[in-house]
Chains A and B, each alone.
Chain A
Amino acid sequence: METNLYRYIVRRSLRPQLLLIAISFVLGLGLNPLMLDLSKRIINSAVRKGNLEALVWLCAMFLGTVLANGALKYVKQNLEGYISETMLRNLRSELYHRILRFPLPHFRNTSTGQLVAMILGEVEDLGSFFGEALSTPAFHGAMLVGTILFMLVNNPWMALMGVALFPVQIWLVRKLQRKVSQLSRERVRMVRGLSDQIQESVGGIQEIHANDTVAFESRGFTGQLRRIFQVRFRIYNLKYLIKWINNLLEKLGQFLLLFVGGWFIITRPESFDVGGLVAFLQAYAQLNEPWRELVNYFQQKENARVKYEQVIANFDPPGLRPEFSLDERLPEPIPELAGAYELRQTSVILDGTTRALDQLQLSTPPSQHVAVVGASGSGKSTLILVLAKLCGYTGNATLDGMELAQLPNAVAGRQIAYVGREARIFTGTVFDNLIYGLRHRPPGPSGDGEGGDDDLWLNPTPLGVSDRAGLISHVLEAARLVGLDDDLYALGLRATVDPGRQPETAERLLAARRLVMARFAGEGGEAAVEFFDRGRFAEYASIGENILFGHSTARSLVPEQLAGYGHFRRVIEEVGLREPLLTLGTEIAREMVEIFKDIPADHELFAEFSLITASELPEYVRLVSRLERTGPGELPPEDQDRLVALSLRLVPARHRLGRIDEDTEFRAKVVAARQRFAETLPPEVAATFVPYDRERYFADGTVLENMLFGKVLATSSLAVKKVNAIVDQVITTHGLRELVMEAGLDYHVGLAGSRLSPAQRQRVALARALIKRPQILLLDEAVSVLEPDRRAELHQRVTTTLKGRTVIAVVDRVDLARYYDRIVVLDAGKVADVGTYQELAAREGLFRHLAVQAGVSL
């Protein structure tokens, strides 16, 4: 990237900038003197000679020039805006791409917050400067030159008189301005000192009182205040001095013009006239604006330059990865990697000093399974990063005879899979994360470089899969391999299925419901479930679900929208439920605000437990503080609706909030509201509404709720166990497991996977690597957070599945290396030993030493 701001601007926006300069010249050197000349002629040839016709013509021309001037200015401003916004967009995009190109070790000492601030905030100011960078000096410069030229042509002596004082002004003002800047910096520094002292006093208040040093501390504080006052007052003085000088010199210029001009007119009327003098004064007044703008511009320019250089410096770390092309297509034919690595004198130096790899020599035959072991700091992780082409190196490192650095990203990204110890999960569904390795532009013209549909960026063809069903079964197979199947199954039971989109799935789950019901009847399982029953209040459903008791495709007919729905309002009023719901809502609001007001908004607890969302919180905080003074009944209607809406979210058996525990009257009213609501539904929505029905699938319920036609009595451990056992059996014996797991794929993992456990995250990362069927799989303690017995199982499974392909894995415990063909022992960035498990276990050496240290028997 260009290190110089102007070079950057010229290179990136030369053509529009040239157009802008051309417009500026037309405005400043053409239209501007023309207008001055016209006003002179209007007075001299029309007004003084009493020529009406000439007056009309000249004024019309003047008006035309004014209009043209305005129109061109409008075009110029828009063009500036266009340049600013395009360049800002390009700069941001370029900086983002630079982040993607940072060498991995650089991320260790880079704060994400800083990068965000730079790309979003600091660059913003640069944006507005891009548009003005060339046009402001061009425009105002041209105005200045044009005006002075007009003056010179009309009367050179007077023109010189007009600009005679400019150099004095420049010199004086600059000198004073510099002094002001210096004082401003001093002021900032002093104010910081002040804030330090306030902090000290607050922190040390006990000491201050215990030693009776109040007088001493105040003296210090007032002293600082006095110094700040002096600085500030000097700035004030200087600012007005500059203003005074500017004004004085301007008026002095006017005085000179009037005096000399008047002298000319009286003494030598043939050389100068009144029209000329008026135009001269007008021109002189006009000189001031461009002048001020130019001075301003030079200050701004300085700020922009510093800012640009700072930002660019932060985005230009040494060892930046080579520029990659977003359109990189696979080379034809695609070279199939065999996985023979050859490292000669390979070194990696981290943070400028630490030698993570020290002239390492290593060669691995193709299609072999290699375990890497070593003490911490031996360079294991760095070695895997180099092999994955994720880390720069010196020396030679070849893969199948090709230097790694030359290997196209398109080939490496598709055929090499890397799983590190920290599983990185992206915000989205489990499915999105699993297929991340297939997010490549499919062959053909579809999908453009910017935005576009994610689904278009999915290319499963290399897997021999052509449709979604095939892809899903491929994904589920990998999930099973890494032991993610039980998790997907559990998530699937809690997921929802849209019968509109997947009618077949819904039909099969409905059939399963009947089987579950039959099993319940036989085994006394009914006591474990609260079935949906029109005549009974459901303790395990929310109040909203209790009243709606069905579902609809109409948008107003979902529990979340109910409170603001007219028909609902009428119904709760009629059955006398409004007051109780308001009271309940008030109590919930108070509790929620108390519990969650100090919880960070992006915290998982918020999403998972709070009855109010993070974005609603401020609204409810305000409501609760109002409720301190007034009853809920006196609130404005929309606030009352808010409280009712909150009450509808309560699940009595789950949330121990509000005083409705033993309130049978409240429950009876809810059931009455439920019946009245369904019976009196307005005709336009009645057709879309389907009450809970034993014979129908309901879209808003989870898979489990649909199979049970009700909710599990979650507060009884025995009930949960019983229901799980029966449901599991029905699902397994009727081959529904795949279906449920598929529903689980749509589970949203939360921000960066926060809703998954660490073990689940690692499994997802491993499955993601396997799903793209890599030729080479590189693992860096990729299963370290799983339980020890599971780790062994996974190493075994992975190596069995990838027979005939290359696997190189850092294992976190030496005995796990037994599943690999060969073992490489690293020490201080060099290969200390190589051999099979048996060989290394048999001979005295570092491998045995590592085993003893870790307390494992080989």
Chain B
Amino acid sequence: MPLDRDVETLRNIPLFNGLPTPRLKLIAYTAEVVRFEPGEVIVQQGDLADAVYIIMEGEAGVWVEGADGRSMQVNTMGPHTLFGEIAVLSRGRRTTTVRAQGSVVTFKIAAKVFLDLVRHSPEISMQVMTVLAERLERTTALLQKAQRG
């Protein structure tokens, strides 16, 4: 069944690691499949965040727009990457632009559903905190390194 396949995919995503199968099924079931054409913008820097995405097929580039208006690609994301959760959690705006490189199939989880999942599922809340804390630690380490060097 297609849902079972999706559940296996979700299992590979660190945020959902260790979730019981019914929870994963719930996420897969509530997620919408959205396809993007080559070059299409998936999220636009500065837009309000309305959803979290998971790349199922294809690759997407992460771009940051500088103050001078020039864009610079800072990263490439492959299948099974989850993105857009920061802006959703902070109820803020997108901090980067993500653009499809080639055809991309995503899972789109509406912000409200994602927040709901975080709020009502202690496992997900813990995972979100762990992932965010790790990221913070990494950024702090980078900053310290930059300061020293």
Q: Which residues of A contact B (CB under 8 A)?
A: 587, 591, 594-599, 603-605, 608-609, 654-659, 661, 714-718, 757-759, 785, 787
User: Is A605 in contact with B91, judged by CB distance below 8 angstroms?
Assistant: no
With A594-B22, A598-B22, A715-B32 known as contacts, the answer to whether A603 contacts B1 (CB < 8 A) is no
A359 to chain B, nearest CB (A): 39
In Å, the complex CA distance between A345 and B112 comes to: 46
A790 to chain B, nearest CB (A): 10
Q: Among the interface residues A595, A609, A657, A759, which one has the most CB atoms of the partner chain B within 10 A?
A: A595
Q: Which residues of B contact A (CB under 8 A)?
A: 1-3, 6, 22, 25-26, 28-30, 32-37, 40, 42, 48, 91-93, 111-113, 116, 120
B116 to chain A, nearest CB (A): 6
In Å, the complex CA distance between A714 and B30 comes to: 14
User: Is B25 in contact with A657, judged by CB distance below 8 angstroms?
Assistant: no
Other-chain contact of B29, A595, A604, A759, A787 (Cβ < 8 Å):
A595
With A656-B6, A718-B36 known as contacts, the answer to whether A595 contacts B48 (CB < 8 A) is no
A655 to chain B, nearest CB (A): 7
- Which residue on B lies nearest to A786, using beta carbons? B91
Which 6 residue pairs are nearest across A and B when measured between Cβ atoms?
Answer: A656-B2, A595-B26, A717-B36, A595-B25, A715-B33, A609-B30
Q: Which residues of A contact B91 (CB under 8 A)?
A: 758-759, 785, 787
Q: Which residues of A contact B22 (CB under 8 A)?
A: 594-595, 597-598
- Which residue on B lies nearest to A659, using beta carbons? B1
User: Is B120 in contact with A587, judged by CB distance below 8 angstroms?
Assistant: no
A764 to chain B, nearest CB (A): 16
Q: Which residues of A contact B2 (CB under 8 A)?
A: 656-657, 661
In Å, the complex CA distance between A75 and B119 comes to: 57
Other-chain contact of A717, B25, B26, B35, B116 (Cβ < 8 Å):
B35
Other-chain contact of B116, A591, A605, A654, A785 (Cβ < 8 Å):
A605
Q: Among the interface residues B29, B30, B113, which one has the most CB atoms of the partner chain A within 10 A?
A: B29
User: Is B1 in contact with A714, judged by CB distance below 8 angstroms?
Assistant: no
In Å, the complex CA distance between A605 and B116 comes to: 8
Q: Which residues of A contact B26 (CB under 8 A)?
A: 595-596, 599, 605
15 contacts between A and B (CB under 8 A): A591-B25, A591-B29, A597-B22, A599-B26, A603-B116, A605-B30, A605-B113, A608-B113, A609-B30, A656-B2, A657-B29, A661-B2, A715-B33, A717-B36, A717-B37
With A587-B1, A605-B26 known as contacts, the answer to whether A714 contacts B32 (CB < 8 A) is yes
User: Is B1 in contact with A717, judged by CB distance below 8 angstroms?
Assistant: no
Q: Which residues of B contact A758 (CB under 8 A)?
A: 91
User: Is A717 in contact with B29, judged by CB distance below 8 angstroms?
Assistant: no
B32 to chain A, nearest CB (A): 7
A612 to chain B, nearest CB (A): 13
Q: Among the interface residues B3, B32, B36, which one has the most CB atoms of the partner chain A within 10 A?
A: B3
In Å, the complex CA distance between A758 and B22 comes to: 28
User: Is A609 in contact with B29, judged by CB distance below 8 angstroms?
Assistant: yes
With A594-B22, A787-B48 known as contacts, the answer to whether A716 contacts B35 (CB < 8 A) is yes
B93 to chain A, nearest CB (A): 7
User: Is B32 in contact with A757, judged by CB distance below 8 angstroms?
Assistant: no
User: Is B35 in contact with A656, judged by CB distance below 8 angstroms?
Assistant: no
Q: Which residues of A contact B33 (CB under 8 A)?
A: 656, 715
B38 to chain A, nearest CB (A): 11
Q: Which residues of A contact B111 (CB under 8 A)?
A: 757
Q: Which residues of B contact A657 (CB under 8 A)?
A: 1-3, 29
With A603-B120, A604-B116, A785-B91 known as contacts, the answer to whether A715 contacts B1 (CB < 8 A) is no
In Å, the complex CA distance between A381 and B25 comes to: 44
Supplied contacts A715-B34, A717-B34, 10 more A-B pairs, CB within 8 Å: A591-B3, A597-B22, A603-B116, A603-B120, A604-B112, A657-B2, A714-B32, A718-B37, A757-B112, A787-B93
In Å, the complex CA distance between A587 and B2 comes to: 12
User: Is B92 in contact with A787, judged by CB distance below 8 angstroms?
Assistant: yes
In Å, the complex CA distance between A658 and B29 comes to: 12
Q: Which residues of B contact A594 (CB under 8 A)?
A: 22, 25
Q: Among the interface residues A654, A656, A659, A718, which one has the most CB atoms of the partner chain B within 10 A?
A: A656
In Å, the complex CA distance between A714 and B40 comes to: 16
User: Is A717 in contact with B113, judged by CB distance below 8 angstroms?
Assistant: no
- Which residue on B lies nearest to A597, using beta carbons? B22
B52 to chain A, nearest CB (A): 15
- Which residue on A lies nearest to B111, using beta carbons? A757
- Which residue on B lies nearest to A657, using beta carbons? B3
Q: Which residues of B contact A715 (CB under 8 A)?
A: 32-35
User: Is B93 in contact with A656, judged by CB distance below 8 angstroms?
Assistant: no
Q: Which residues of B contact A609 (CB under 8 A)?
A: 29-30, 113
Q: Which residues of A contact B40 (CB under 8 A)?
A: 717-718
User: Is A654 in contact with B112, judged by CB distance below 8 angstroms?
Assistant: no
In Å, the complex CA distance between A681 and B29 comes to: 36
Q: Which residues of B contact A654 (CB under 8 A)?
A: 32
In Å, the complex CA distance between A597 and B29 comes to: 14
- Which residue on A lies nearest to B21, using beta carbons? A594
In Å, the complex CA distance between A44 and B42 comes to: 107
- Which residue on B lies nearest to A721, using beta carbons? B40
Q: Among the interface residues B42, B48, B111, which one has the most CB atoms of the partner chain A within 10 A?
A: B48
Q: Which residues of A contact B28 (CB under 8 A)?
A: 656
In Å, the complex CA distance between A596 and B2 comes to: 18
Q: Which residues of B contact A656 (CB under 8 A)?
A: 1-3, 6, 28-29, 33
- Which residue on A lies nearest to B35, using beta carbons? A716
In Å, the complex CA distance between A759 and B111 comes to: 13
- Which residue on A lies nearest to B30, using beta carbons? A609
B34 to chain A, nearest CB (A): 5
Q: Which residues of A contact B42 (CB under 8 A)?
A: 717
A557 to chain B, nearest CB (A): 30
In Å, the complex CA distance between A787 and B93 comes to: 8
A611 to chain B, nearest CB (A): 10
Q: Which residues of A contact B93 (CB under 8 A)?
A: 787
Q: Which residues of A contact B48 (CB under 8 A)?
A: 787
B134 to chain A, nearest CB (A): 26
B83 to chain A, nearest CB (A): 15
Q: Which residues of B contact A717 (CB under 8 A)?
A: 34-37, 40, 42
A335 to chain B, nearest CB (A): 42
Q: Which residues of A contact B36 (CB under 8 A)?
A: 717-718
In Å, the complex CA distance between A785 and B48 comes to: 13
In Å, the complex CA distance between A608 and B30 comes to: 9
B23 to chain A, nearest CB (A): 9
Q: Which residues of B contact A714 (CB under 8 A)?
A: 32, 34
B139 to chain A, nearest CB (A): 19
Q: Which residues of B contact A595 (CB under 8 A)?
A: 22, 25-26, 29
In Å, the complex CA distance between A338 and B115 comes to: 44
A749 to chain B, nearest CB (A): 13
In Å, the complex CA distance between A599 and B20 comes to: 14
Q: Which residues of A contact B29 (CB under 8 A)?
A: 591, 595, 609, 655-657
In Å, the complex CA distance between A659 and B1 comes to: 6
Q: Which residues of A contact B6 (CB under 8 A)?
A: 656
In Å, the complex CA distance between A608 and B113 comes to: 10
In Å, the complex CA distance between A595 and B116 comes to: 15
With A591-B3, A657-B3, A758-B91 known as contacts, the answer to whether A716 contacts B116 (CB < 8 A) is no
In Å, the complex CA distance between A244 and B38 comes to: 93
In Å, the complex CA distance between A715 and B28 comes to: 15
Q: Among the interface residues A654, A714, A717, A718, which one has the most CB atoms of the partner chain B within 10 A?
A: A717
In Å, the complex CA distance between A659 and B37 comes to: 27
- Which residue on B lies nearest to A609, using beta carbons? B30
- Which residue on B lies nearest to A756, using beta carbons? B112
Q: Which residues of B contact A598 (CB under 8 A)?
A: 22
- Which residue on B lies nearest to A653, using beta carbons? B33
A31 to chain B, nearest CB (A): 65
In Å, the complex CA distance between A759 and B42 comes to: 23
B119 to chain A, nearest CB (A): 10
In Å, the complex CA distance between A659 and B3 comes to: 10
In Å, the complex CA distance between A714 and B26 comes to: 20
In Å, the complex CA distance between A715 and B107 comes to: 10
In Å, the complex CA distance between A785 and B34 comes to: 29
